[in-house]
């Protein structure tokens, strides 16, 4: 006969306000197997835990029911307390009489019987509990960072500094990401490259960091502590060991293609580094545009290369490696505003997105750092900035605020005034949102000291008229329709998830929101964790964010990864599925429904009518199993049980609630 103790928490008035504790205690004393019942104002406090521990020892309890808040809150606390008193921690059950009961009822006459029913169910279940052990898992002391922008770089440096080896996989030929495309950063206007390139170099030189550029993650298998990852290194066609980065190859190359780094505003060669400060400074051959790969002739780069580093025969390579932790930092894209026909983007060279406009300021950009109209090369005297293109647009775009646009628009208006002193800027906005340290001051400075006119309203149409672009909008504060004859228009296009974010999420096994931004495990308390243990997220792949937030989040993700890597072994899930192979018919429905690839099939031999026979049965890999229970529901013969949630235990709970009143 079990010796169960029941402990009920008042949780101040959270529970006691709607549940008559004394009545619940009295009822608990009469549950089968219950030999002790007690109450306390805050069971989760140290005194509360001591109360449980002492009661276990004094009454020789072998099972415990706590009637408290959700097990997501304090199950761990109470299991630990039970373990300290000498019980197996899985001999304790939580009856959630707060979220499931007191918080959803107003009337004590409704709350009390329900709490008693939930306690009775827990007592019925705990009577069938068996002691469980968590499997121990080894941790591979190496981290993988996917994405080599500022988030990935920062996370990698932090992990490397803690003494762990980290691989950074970057799809482009160089690390640097979006930040490398920026000229200046708000709110201090320091040069983006000047603060980014030292970090890029640090990442390249750090003995613990291994940069794998021009590569993509193809497959992730395994689980926390032991992710088995396949990385495809695209053929660079250059031997990185021999290459000295002299640049002769791309000077001589005759084939051109639109530069991705310059948003297609200028051309690069078919053999190229994306930008002058690229890390590694090793070119790649873009085989789609290379004359040799297209037509079989040219080979000028190979002839001109002093160290003979060009290798046309290079093949894509697959690296297979095991990692203990993964950080996803794949960044964001800019919405293509051509879907907004009224702005005429793509139909006129002087209508640019903000990121394109940013490149005009850069000394190595398409105009060599001169801010000029792409149509006629003249400096723009009137520039209209339009905010929220696709952001905060329920009808046609994204519901969310892209967060960074108000600030980068103020920044670009200030930079414009510095480059073209007689230029006048107009900003059409819905709201100016500049929360952040020094941000509001920065935006005010743009308006007050740099002569930037802020017009609250939207633009309905942009069309060319002579040399100008007429911006036809409304100033909603004065209630007037305004037509501005502008030289240039800059569109603050929404920050959106990368087009292939769903695919990356599928490969890594993390989920995303309706905009394809990756989901954190908890919006407040687990901002860098995901629902997949051992996978963390950082930067704008989670939501639009600025550089300071991205760097902070990258550091946080790194700390989580370091915490994981610092352990030699991890405690795995104790509540895993187990197959009764004598009853298993080998239909393998379970294998099909398992989301964690934790079920395999094996052949067993058994004696049957005096002869040995072989047959197929399912087998669970307990280190992969996450205890979701899908298999035990799918199993037609009822031969899979989830430890800690066996069919018998669940039926006992149901009976306790439904049959005994």
Partner 1 sequence: MRYRYFPGCTLKGQAKNMENTTMAAAHALGIELVELDQWQCCGAVYPLYEDELISLLSPVRTLAAAEGEPLVSLCAACHHVLKRAQELMQRNEDARHKVTDYLEVDYKGEGRVLHFLEVLRDDLGFDKLKEMIKKPLEGRKIAAYYGCLLLRPSKVMQFDDPENPTIMEDLIKALGAEVVKSPYRTECCGAYLSVSEEAVARDTVSKIINSAREAGAEALITACPLCRYNLENCVDQDGKEPVKVYYFSELLAEAMGLQFDQLMSKALERRRGKNGNQQ
* Site residues for partner 1 per CB under 8 A: 340-342, 347, 461, 463-465, 470
Q: Give 337 or 365: the residue with its C-beta nearer to partner 1.
A: 337
Least Å distance, CB 342 to partner 1, is 5
- Tell the burial category of 447 from Cβ atoms under 10 Å away from its Cβ (0-12, 13-18, 19+): middle
Distance of CA 131 to the CA centre of its chain: 36
Closer by beta carbon to partner 1, 342 or else 513: 342
- The nearest distance, CB 460 to partner 1, in angstroms, is 9
Cα 243 to Cα 307: distance, rounded to the nearest angstrom: 6
Query: At 89, is the secondary structure helix, strand, or coil?
Result: helix
DSSP 224-264: TTEEEEEEEE---SB-TTT-----HHHHH---EEE-TTTTT
Min dist CB 341 to partner 1, Å, is 2
Nearer to partner 1, 367 or 375 (CB): 375
Q: Which is nearer to partner 1, 88 or 458 (CB)?
A: 458
Query: Which lies closer to partner 1 via its Cβ, residue 377 or residue 466?
Result: 466
Nearest to partner 1 of 272, 340 (CB atom): 340
CB of 490 to partner 1, least distance (A): 19
Cβ atoms of 89 and 80 within 8 Å: the answer is yes
Q: Is the peptide bond before 187 cis (omega within 30 degrees of 0)?
A: yes
Q: Which among 42, 39, 54, 129 has a CA at the least distance from the CA of 85?
A: 54
In the chain, how many H helices and how many E strands?
Answer: 17, 34
- Burial of 24-45, coded b for 16+ CB within 10 Å and e otherwise, reads bbebbeebebbbbbbbbeebbe
Identify each DSSP E strand in 338-466 by its residue range: 351-353, 382-389, 424-429, 452-456, 459-465
Question: Under 8 Å CB-to-CB from 149, ≥6 apart: which residues?
Answer: 175, 176, 177, 178, 179, 180, 329, 331, 539, 550
Decide if 520 contacts 529 (C-beta within 8 A).
yes
Structure tokens at 31: 């549950």
Smallest distance from partner 1 to CB 388, Å: 17
The residue (of 132 and 470) whose beta carbon lies closer to partner 1 is 470
119 neighbors 632 (Cβ within 8 angstroms)? no
Beta bridge partners, 169, equal 146, 212
């Amino acid at each position: 006969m079990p010796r169960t103790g029941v402990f009920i928490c008042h949780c101040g008035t959270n529970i006691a306000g709607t549940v008559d504790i004394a009545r619940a205690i009295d009822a608990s004393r009469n549950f089968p197997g219950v030999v002790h019942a007690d109450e306390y104002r805050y069971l989760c406090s140290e005194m509360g835990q001591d109360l449980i521990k002492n009661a276990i020892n004094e009454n020789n309890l072998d099972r415990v029911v706590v009637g408290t808040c959700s097990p997501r809150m304090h199950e761990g606390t109470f299991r630990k307390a039970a373990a300290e008193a000498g019980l197996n921690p899985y001999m304790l059950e939580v009856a959630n009489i707060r979220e499931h009961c007191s918080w959803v009822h107003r009337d004590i006459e409704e709350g009390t019987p329900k709490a008693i029913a939930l306690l009775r169910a827990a007592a019925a279940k705990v009577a069938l509990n068996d002691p469980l052990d968590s499997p121990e898992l080894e941790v591979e002391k190496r981290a993988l960072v996917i994405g080599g922008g500022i988030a990935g770089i920062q996370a990698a440096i932090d992990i490397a500094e803690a003494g762990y080896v980290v691989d950074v996989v970057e799809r482009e030929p160089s690390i640097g990401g979006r930040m490398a495309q920026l000229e200046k950063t708000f709110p201090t206007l320091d040069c983006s490259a000047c603060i980014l390139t030292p970090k890029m170099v640090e990442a390249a030189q750090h003995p613990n960091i291994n940069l794998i550029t021009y590569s993509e993650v193809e497959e992730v298998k395994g689980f926390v502590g032991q992710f088995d990852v396949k990385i495809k290194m695209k053929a660079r066609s250059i031997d990185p060991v021999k290459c000295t980065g002299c640049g002769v190859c791309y000077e001589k190359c005759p084939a051109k293609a639109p530069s991705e780094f310059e948003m297609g505003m200028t051309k690069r060669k078919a053999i190229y580094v994306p930008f002058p400060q690229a890390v590694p400074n090793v070119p790649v051959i873009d085989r789609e545009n290379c004359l040799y790969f297209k037509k079989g002739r040219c080979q000028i780069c190979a002839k001109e290369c002093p160290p003979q580093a060009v290798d046309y025969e290079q093949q894509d390579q697959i690296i297979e490696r095991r990692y203990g932790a993964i950080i996803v930092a794949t960044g964001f894209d800019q919405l293509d505003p051509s879907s907004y026909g009224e702005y005429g983007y793509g139909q006129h060279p002087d209508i640019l997105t903000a990121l394109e406009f940013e490149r005009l300021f850069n000394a190595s950009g398409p105009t060599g750092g001169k801010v000029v109209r792409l149509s006629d090369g003249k400096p723009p005297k009137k520039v209209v900035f339009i905010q929220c293109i696709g952001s905060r647009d329920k009808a046609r775009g994204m519901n969310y605020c892209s967060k960074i646009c108000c600030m980068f628009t103020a920044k670009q208006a200030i930079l414009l005034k510095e480059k073209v002193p007689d230029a006048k800027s107009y900003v059409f906005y819905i709201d100016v949102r500049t929360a952040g340290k020094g941000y509001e001051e920065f935006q005010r400075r743009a308006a007050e000291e740099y002569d930037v006119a802020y017009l609250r309203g939207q633009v309905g149409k942009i069309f060319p008229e002579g040399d100008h672009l007429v911006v036809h909008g409304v100033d909603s504060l004065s209630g007037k329709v305004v037509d501005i004859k502008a030289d240039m228009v800059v569109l603050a296009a929404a920050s959106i998830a990368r087009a292939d974010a769903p695919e990356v999420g599928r490969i890594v096994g993390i989920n995303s929101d309706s905009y394809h931004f990756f989901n954190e495990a908890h919006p407040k308390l687990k901002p860098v964790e995901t629902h997949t243990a051992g996978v963390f997220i950082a930067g704008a792949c989670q939501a639009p964010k600025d550089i300071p937030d991205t760097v902070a989040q990258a550091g946080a993700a790194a700390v989580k990864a370091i915490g994981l890597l610092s352990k030699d072994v991890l405690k795995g899930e104790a509540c895993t599925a187990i197959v009764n192979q004598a009853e298993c018919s080998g239909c393998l429905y379970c294998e099909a429904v398992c989301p964690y690839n934790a079920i395999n099939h094996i052949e067993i031999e058994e004696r049957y009518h005096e002869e040995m026979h072989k047959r197929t049965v399912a087998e669970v890999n307990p280190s992969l199993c996450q205890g979701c229970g899908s298999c035990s529901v799918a199993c037609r013969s009822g031969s899979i049980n989830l430890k800690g949630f066996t069919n018998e235990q669940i039926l006992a709970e149901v009976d306790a609630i439904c049959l005994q009143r």
